[in-house]
Every structure is written in structure tokens, then in C-alpha cells.
Structure 1
Amino acid sequence: MRPCPACGAGNREDDEFCGNCGSYLGWSSRPPQPPPAAAEPAGPEEPAVPAEPAAGPTGRAPDAPGAGAARGPRSPGRAPARPAPRATGGIRALARAGARRAAPAAPPAAAPEPPPQPVRPAPARPEPPAEEDPPVVAVQPAEPIARRPVVRPVAAEETPDGPPCPACGTPNLPERRFCRRCAAPLQTREQPKPLPWWRTVWPLRRRARGGPGRMLRRILLVLVVVGLLFTGFLLLPVGRYLFEDVRDKRGGTAPIGPSRTTASAQAPGHPASAAVDGVTNTYWGAPALDSSLTCAFDKPFRLVGVTVHTGVSKDPREFRRGARPTRADLFITTADGEVRRKAMPLADKPGPQTLRTGISDVVSVRLVLRDASGQGGGRPVALGEVEFYKRT
């Protein structure tokens, strides 16, 4: 088995990456270095034994004291050398020699023991030098320096018969989390499909999942969209009105005269044109209530406001002598044929009275008198002047 250098898990010999943590197994392929052999301890020293001195030709040690008087040791069973018989001496000498040969040899005398030699101590053996620490060198890239973890034993050999790796196609066991060849993750989740752009905008950012509430969520989403469209449709005129109203207040105004003026009824000497001639000492006289004055314009314009002068004159005493209107209705027609009604209450006093309208694309305005004061004696209802203002 091939142990993982990071977590210690067992792997096959041909695996390149750990199946437990995905670490690279190349560093664990180096054979372990054998530890240096320790020097054997020296045994107890034996005392040196002095060598036996060699005997000289006379049987004595050459370095022993009194070597000339003492004989050296003889070897057992060896007779000492005898001198050769002389050639002369007669029969007596021969007899003595034969007697000596027949007599048993006497045992040799014991040689004196040599004096004891001083014991010289044996030279001490040199102890092996202590092992020095290895020098500090630069750490190789990606090489672990820490102690190797304890290898966890593996009971059985792996048989790569599982699903193939999605990256390299190498078969792996089902319980492995990383490929044994390329370390690619094996237990990958299925990536969801990218959401459309409208699903990434709040409040539609939440991903809808299949289930019993999916149809309900779709119905609620449709209702919300319909409600937003309906609200926008209703609020569009209001928003446009506010925008144009701001422009009316911040912009300038200018008077504009009608191109044609008509009345449904008029008193003798007080025609409808007298209401738009620009002076207030002349007036349009309506013989009865519900009489109308219609003013038409050549080009559509933005009608900002309408100013009305009531009565026969600005002088208060003359103003009280005639009949004057106190309420009127304005019917404003735009270029697309739409007619808008504006109620205009009038104070019973001399002077101008203005009604802000704020209507675009106006082509005609019809003023209908609804109520008046000071009637009686056949006096007509006097309308001194009507002024129209446009936005510049």
C-alpha cells in the first residue's frame, strides 16, 4: 500500500492522489533512508600476556638475569645432547660409554622460573567520533519536513471497479471523494441551469422549485404583474398631470386671444365680441341663465388658466346696479375631441377672478352661466371680460 503523506490513508501503488484528502502521493514514493549504524561498544579490555622469552643455545633466556648459570627448559622426552666419545682413550673409555648408554636417563632438573615482567597496559582503542547533526539546508519546494504520520493499515486491496472519473475517466471506488489519478472531485453535485435575467431581479430572485406550490406561485406572480400594469395605467395620467403642472408653475405665461367668438344668446347692444375686446367697460349681456359664450382658437395650445371679470364696470357703485354671474361652467375641448368640464365659482365683487386649468391641446372653450345675482327689471347678466393664458 502507498500511504498518504498528509492524512495517512492507504492507497494503491499506482495511485497518484489520495482518495481521502486529494493530496499528491508522489512524495511518499521515496524509499525510507536506513538509520546510520551505531558503533558497537568496545568490550572489556583483557590484560596483555607477556610473550615467553625464547631460549638461547644454552637453554637460558637471553634477557633473564643469571643466564649463564641457569639452563633453559627442556622439552619432555628429549635427551640432552651428549658429547661425542673421544677417539683415543682405550677400552676403558669405550666401557664407560657403553655403561652410560645402558643406564636410564636421569630426569632433567627443573629450570628456575623467570622473574615476573611488569604488565604494560594495552593502548585504549579510539572511540568513534560522534555523529554530527546534518547541516541546515534550504527546504525543497513542496517537500514535507514534518514527521511522517502513522500509516493506517489497509485490510484489503482496492479494486477500482467503481464509476469513472468525470475528468480523466479513471475508475475509482464508490467511497472515494477524489480521483486516484488526477485528484478531481468525484462526488460533484449537478449544477443548476443559469437563471434568466428577470429571475435575478428582486423580488423574483428566489428560484422556483417544482412542488405542490409551484402553480400557486405562478398565479401570484401573474396577479402581481397585472396589478402593476393596472396601477401604472391608472397612475400614468396623474403622473403626467403632475409633471405638466410643475412646468406650468415654473414656466412663464402669455395671454392668447380666440380667433372666433360666438354666443348662444345676447342682449341688444352687448354682443359676444365685447367679452374678448380687452376692455372691462364693455360687456357681453346674457338675457337669461344657461346662456353660453364659445371661443375657438386656430392652433392647439396649453391652457394654463382663465380669468373672468364680472359686472358692468370695475366701479363698485356701477357694479351693484347691473346683474352679475356668481357661478359658471367651462367646457374645454381638446384636439382629439375630448371635452373636459371645469366648474368656476365667481365672487360677487368687481375685479379679476382666475381659474387654473392646466389642459393641453385646447382648441375651444365654452362658458355657460349657471347662477347670477342682481337680476330683475329686465337687466341682462353682464360678463365684462374673459382672458385666456397659455404656457410659454
Structure 2
Amino acid sequence: MSWLSPFPPRIPLGEGFEAFNTWLKDHFGGLFDVIGTVINWAVTTLRDFLTEPQATQLTAIAAAILAVLLVRARPIPVLVIVGSTIALYVGQATFELGNTLVNHSPPQLFLWAMHLFGQEKVESNLVIGIVALIALVVVAAVYRIRLPLVAAVAGGWLAVILCGWLLFGAIPEVIGQPTAILMMLLLSTLAWVVAGWKLGVFSLVALTLVISIEQWSNAMSTLALVLVASLIAVVIAIPIGIVAAYSTVVSRIVKPVLDLMQTMPAFVYLIPAIFFFSLGAVPGVVATVVFAMPPGVRLTELGIRQIDKEVVEAGEAFGASPFKILTGIQLPLALSTIMAGVNQVIMLGLSMVVIAGMVGAGGLGNQVYQGISRNDGALGFEGGIAVVILAIFLDRLTAAITRRSPQARAERAAA
């Protein structure tokens, strides 16, 4: 019976996991480098915008919002404008095409603005964005498409630019001191528009508190990390949830994997993340994505499965394709449940802030971790308060979007 000892035999599970990670890095190291570069670029760009917003970025965002508002009504002119704008941005980044066009334009187009704003040169990317914005406003005016919304977006953009110029004296970089005030006003206005005046006032007071305790830069770094990680998690989770809702086999395979992801200690996710991406914001984002993704998958599947089958059968009876049924019936009806999943993804992402700070992600997590390691209660408390404010802000914002979904409005009307 000696062949039975020792019992149970030792299984080298950890060594196998490490060997598998080594094999992945040896064969797909280039892919991980690309992923890390893209994630780091996204976090850095969003963090820079939140801490030092520039007129070029604000103009591009305003043009993108107008394009989304107008594309369904007039797709051809809007897509032509968007395509031309992207081509000009790429040409400027690659060959400085925008500089060439500006240099060959009549000086009278730009000299007045340079004298007005005290600039020594023309920012070509800003010019490209303004031209695109004007073109989209002209399309909306000619075809009379959603004029109040278009006026609100264009007027809001102009107000922000003038605010940056008059109050902070900074055009085209809307970054004069104090920068935090401008972004605080933008975020508070966003909360007011989406969720009402109560959240707008709360955001104004709460974000002012964040500035007062000198945690604004850290808070915006954390917000950038959470938003990037949540976006990646949602983009992965929703398609998996849709496939799981359609296929029982996929659902049975996915559920134990999600159970493992939710019950595994969050620190464990940092081991392969650091192995593949070293220290910094990237492993924090990757660990946050893995930790926060399960609710998005589960609630997407639940939202689609709980839709009345008679509604789907009615769509099939009218000859709708499976894709049309998904996009026109199932997803709109399941939107409130899916948005609840998105809300949970964001909240779980924020709960990973401190852990991400331990691997060099920076932000409020780093402040809390330093407070713990130095036994500095004041520093840790201030970082924790800022995390709570961000959590409340994001939770109420996503909850307001859920309440505005067609299904939620129909349920309130029926009640």
C-alpha cells in the first residue's frame, strides 16, 4: 500500500499557473505590450483632460456630441464631416497637415484672434475642431434637426471657452489657475443636466470640498482610472452577457467562471497583472476590470432573459431579424437592468482604488495606502473622503441615467 502514500498527492497548481503565465508572456509578449500602451495612453489622456482641460479637447468633445445627435437624421453629411475631421487630425499628427493649411490661409482669418487672446501662434488642432463644430451646427440649422440640443451644446462649449479666457486667461490651453474650478463647474453642470438640481448642488459642494483638502489631482487620476477600467469591463461584459442569454451552454460555462472571479481575493489579480504589465496604472486597470466585470455579465444576461417571450415572438411574427429583435426589443427593454450592472461595475471599480494604489497606479488609492503605511490618519482620511464623494457622484449619475431609460419611464407611467 506504499503506492498510496502520500495521500492526497500534492498537485503543483501554483507552479502550473506560473508556467502558463510565462508561456503567455513568451509567446504573446508583444500583444501585452500593445494592450499596456493603449491602456496607459487612455488613462493618461483622460487624467490630463480632467486636471488640465484644453480648449482643443473641449472642442473635439463638443463636435463629437453634435455628431451623435445629428447622425441618425442626416447620416451622409455628418459622416462626411466626421471623416474629414478625423483625416485632418491624423494628417496633423503625422505630417503636420493642419499647420500647412493654416500657413497657406489668409492671415486675416487668424490675426484678429491671435491679438485678442494674446497668442503667438495658431493651434491647428483647435482650428480643425472649431471648423468641424461650425459645420455640424450649419447642418443642424439647414435641416432644422434638434435645434435646442444643438444650441445647448454649442452654447455650452462657447461659455466654457469664454470662461477659460476671461477667468483664467488661457486660450487655447484652458489650464490657468485654478484649473480645478473649471472642471468642477463642468462636472456639476453635467450632474445637474442628467440627474437634476439636487445632485448638481451636491456635486458643487462635494467637489469644492475635494479641492479644499487638496486632493483634486488625485481624485481626477482615480476617476480616470475607474472610468477607463469600467469602460473596458462593460465593453467585454455586455457581449458575453448577451451570448449567455441566448445560449444555455455558454451560460453554464460562464457562471462558475464569474463565481471564481467574484470570490477570488482581489490581491490575487495583481500577481499576473504585475507579471505581464509591471508596476503602474496598467496592472491596476487590468485587476479592476477582472474584479468588476461579473455584475455586468450577470445583469445583462438576467435583463435579456426576463423579457416576456411574447414580445419577442411578436417581433418574429412581423419578420424582424434576430439582430433587429436584439437591438430594437431586447436591449431597450433590458436597459434598466443592464445599467444597474454598469452601476455595480463602477462601484466595484472604485472599491479597487486602494489596491490599485499599492501597485503604483497613483491617485487616491496611493494616498490611502501611504496613510496606512505611515500611520498618518489625516492623509488616509482625506483620501477616503474623496473616494466616498466620487462613489456617490458616479452612483447617482448612473442611477439617473437608468431612471431615464424607456422601460423605467414606461413602468412609472403604468404605476
Larger radius of gyration: 1
More strand as a share of residues: 1
Q: TM-score range by the shorter chain?
A: under 0.3
What's the TM-score once normalised by structure 2's chain length?
Answer: 0.15
Higher relative contact order (CA 8 A, sep 6+): 2
